[in-house]
Amino acid sequence: MVREVRKEEALKFINKAEEFYSSALENYQKRRLNACAFDSSQAIILANDAFCIFMIGKRASKDHREAITLHVEASASKENKKEVLNEALEKRSEFGYTEKETNEGEANLLLIRARRFLDWTKSRIG
């Protein structure tokens, strides 16, 4: 269920996203690749929450489809990153909650996408 959130809360979500990104980077450097993939994905999800809160005053609950729908709504039919968000949601579940292991290439790619998504979000919300 979508939650109404005051726009002022967006910065808290960006700060959390940066914290998870820093953790992802450290995990990558220490070759903890599953943790890197999970934390990179979480950084993207939190940055998306910040984006949606800032743009439309809403954030998704635990439903992945909601997060993507809100992202598109917050983008107002302009440039959006729903593919990156969708992948992050899938990878977080895949590497965080199943027996599947990530590899260096996947972890690195998610780390790069997390940084780009964070930068994209920051450029939109100021």
Q: Which residues are bridge partners to 59 per DSSP?
A: 3
- pTM here is 0.91
- 51, 55, 59, 63 alpha-carbon torsion, rounded to 10°: -80
Please report, for the domain that includes residue 106, its CATH number: 1.20.120.330
For the cut 90, the answer to whether the pLDDT of residue 51 exceeds it is yes
Residue 95 has pLDDT above 90, yes or no: no
* pLDDT mean across residues, the chain: 91
The confidence score (pLDDT) of residue 89 equals 85
Give residue 112's domain range.
3-125
**Overall domain count for the chain:** 1
> Which residues make Cβ contacts (< 8 Å) with residue 1, sequence separation at least 6?
61, 63, 66
| Structural element, H or E, at residue 30 | none
